[in-house]
């Protein structure tokens, strides 16, 4: 298929929307005789009038040539070498055009013995294990996941290049895998999560035939590496569209594969579903306002209500409350980590957010200033804020604490939310006295 080239006058991308570092990088590559494209999600976002999260560059310069051109370059990646250009406030990814995996007949599979290391490698089920061959600009576009992610912006003449049906799919707001959806979701099951993420966050629709296959293959998501799934989880839940994404995870049954315990608990439990939907809506509001929202808070939003219920049941059987909570958290985290690798530090922080709740609920609280100085207090307040939408007890506590924080902020030594901050740094919190802002809806 001939690529469609949309000249500068016929598309809405202006250089003003592109990060100055990315522009300079594109020009430098071009001036040195290389092809230089903006590629992937940033072109999609610019065409949609959204601010791209990052600007990725694709070029025919080999990694070594990129390194020679840019002093701030570091080559990274084992599966595929690519260049990271380090600027003061951003890191740009510059990758050499890559080829698509060959058609199934010529593939080298794990079982076959070869003397030289294979450049493409799939396991017996068709999942790509290695994929590192340089290619043409077209091959590079067609190996990408979705047509709308395969568009390029050419710095040579400021045109947009569409090697598939990205532009018409974008106009119809469709997420369509490039090629056979069954093959593409099998090669890399994480693409199913990406499809759901773009649908939820960009208000797009997964093309119906691809959606059907996604639902059929959803249980295979567990074949992806648990550490990678954790990274994807953060993008699903912390970027302001957790609620619509959760609905799609549930209807595709990806939720069942990722979090079987949660999915089981949700069956026939509409109250819990309503609480979770509400929590995720609050999480989205916090993310959009850039108020406390962290990996541990998303875990608490999703699993906290169930954990609290279970801990309460154990407490009624005579186990001290904190001990009951510790035990339920430990069971959940052990179960979760088999599929999605939650760092121990983040799991511990979720437990502390939940452990603080009974102390926040006690009216009036004991030694509130000291409570407010605890690590994780800001996140514990954010959790209280979520739960106050549906719970009367939480509402009373939230009102009390908001009043307290508004009246005596200087008395409260507390940290801003530690979005993945290491434990060591958090222990020094008493040196800086920063008030926790009241959390209002």
Which residues sit at the interface with ligand ATP, rule CB under 6 A?
A: 40-41, 53-54, 56, 144-145, 149, 188, 190-191
Task: State which residue, 54 or 108, has the beta carbon closest to ligand ATP.
Answer: 54
Place of tokens 């609280």: 365
The count of residues interacting with Mg ion (CB under 5 A) is 2
Distance, in Å, from the CA atom of 353 to the CA atom of 379, rounded to the nearest integer, reads: 6
* Partner that binds at residue 188, options Mg ion, ligand ATP, none, CB closer than 5 to 8 Å by kind: ligand ATP
Interacting stretch for Mg ion, rule CB under 5 A, among 51-59, 147-155, 162-170, 427-435? 51-59
Cα 92 from Cα 89, distance rounded (Å): 10
Residue 326 contact partner, candidates Mg ion, ligand ATP, none, CB within 5 to 8 A by sort of partner:
none
At residue 361, the 3 state secondary structure works out as: helix
* Contact (CB, 8 A) for 223 and 126: no
Q: 239: closest CA among 280, 205, 211, 204?
A: 280
Least distance to ligand ATP, CB of residue 109, Å: 20
Does 54 interact with Mg ion (rule: CB under 5 A)?
yes
Secondary element (H or E) of residue 101: none
**Is the Cβ of residue 42 or residue 206 nearer to Mg ion in the bound state?**
42
203 labelled catalytic: no
Instruction: Tell me how far apart the alpha carbons of residues 195 and 187 are, in angstroms, rounded to a whole number.
Output: 14
Rg value, the chain, Cα? 24
Q: Does 56 participate in catalysis according to the annotation?
A: yes
93 part of the interface to Mg ion, by CB under 5 A:
no
The residue to which tokens 């994929």 are assigned? 131
Residue 54 is a catalytic residue:
yes
**Selected catalytic residue, list 45, 60, 131, 145:** 145
Position closest to ligand ATP via CB? 41
Helix or strand run (H / E) with residue 293? none
- Residue 190 touches which member of Mg ion, ligand ATP, none, C-beta under 5-8 Å by kind: ligand ATP
43 contributes a contact to Mg ion by CB under 5 A: no
Residue nearest to Mg ion (CB): 41
The DSSP element (H or E) to which 65 belongs, if any, is helix 63-69
**CB-CB contact of 363 with 397 (8 Å):** yes
What's the farthest any 2 CA atoms get from each other in the chain?
A: 75
Considering 54, 188, 326, 419, which one is annotated as catalytic?
54
For Mg ion, the binding residue among 29, 41, 354, 387 (CB under 5 A) is: 41
* Closer residue to ligand ATP (CB): 224 or 380: 224
Question: Which residue do the tokens 């020094």 mark?
Answer: 428
Binding site for Mg ion (CB under 5 A): 41, 54
Active site residues: 54, 56, 145
């Amino acid at each position: 298929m001939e690529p469609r080239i949309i000249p500068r006058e016929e598309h809405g991308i202006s250089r003003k929307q592109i990060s100055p570092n990315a522009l300079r990088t594109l020009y430098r590559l071009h001036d040195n005789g290389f092809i230089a494209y903006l590629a992937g999600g940033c072109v999609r976002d610019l065409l949609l009038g959204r601010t791209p999260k990052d600007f990725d560059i694709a070029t025919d310069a080999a990694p070594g040539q990129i390194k020679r051109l840019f002093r701030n370059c570091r080559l990274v990646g084992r599966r595929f070498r690519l260049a990271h250009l380090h600027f003061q406030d951003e890191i740009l990814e510059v990758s050499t055009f890559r080829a698509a995996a060959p058609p199934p007949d010529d593939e080298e599979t794990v079982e076959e013995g070869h003397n030289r290391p294979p450049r493409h490698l799939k396991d017996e089920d068709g999942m790509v294990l290695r994929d590192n061959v340089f290619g043409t600009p077209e091959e590079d576009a067609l190996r990408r996941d979705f047509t709308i992610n395969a568009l390029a912006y050419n710095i040579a003449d400021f045109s947009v290049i569409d090697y598939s049906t990205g532009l018409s799919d974008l106009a119809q707001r469709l997420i369509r895998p490039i090629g056979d959806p069954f093959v593409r979701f099998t090669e890399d099951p994480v693409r199913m999560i990406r499809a759901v993420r773009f649908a939820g966050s960009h208000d797009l629709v997964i093309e119906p035939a691809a959606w059907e296959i996604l639902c059929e293959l959803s249980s295979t998501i567990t074949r992806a590496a648990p550490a990678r799934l954790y990274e994807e989880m953060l993008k699903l839940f912390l970027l302001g569209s957790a609620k619509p994404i959760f609905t799609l995870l549930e209807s595709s049954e990806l939720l069942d594969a990722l979090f079987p315990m949660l999915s089981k608990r949700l069956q026939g439990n509409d109250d819990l579903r309503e609480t979770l939907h509400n929590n995720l809506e609050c999480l989205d509001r916090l993310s959009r306002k850039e108020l406390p929202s962290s990996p541990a808070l998303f875990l608490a939003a999703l699993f906290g209500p169930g954990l609290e219920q279970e801990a309460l049941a154990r407490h009624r059987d005579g186990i001290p409350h904190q001990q009951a909570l510790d035990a339920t958290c430990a069971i959940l985290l052990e179960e979760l980590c088999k599929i999605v690798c939650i760092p121990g530090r983040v799991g511990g922080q979720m437990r502390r957010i939940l452990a603080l709740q009974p102390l926040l609920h006690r009216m009036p609280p004991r030694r509130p200033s000291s409570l407010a100085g605890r690590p994780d207090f800001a996140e514990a307040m954010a959790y209280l804020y979520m739960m106050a939408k549906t719970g009367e007890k939480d509402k009373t506590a939230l009102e009390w604490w908001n009043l307290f924080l508004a009246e005596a902020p200087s008395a409260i030594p507390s940290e801003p939310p530690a979005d993945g901050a290491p434990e060591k740094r958090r222990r020094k919190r008493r040196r800086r006295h920063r008030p926790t802002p009241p959390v209002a809806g």
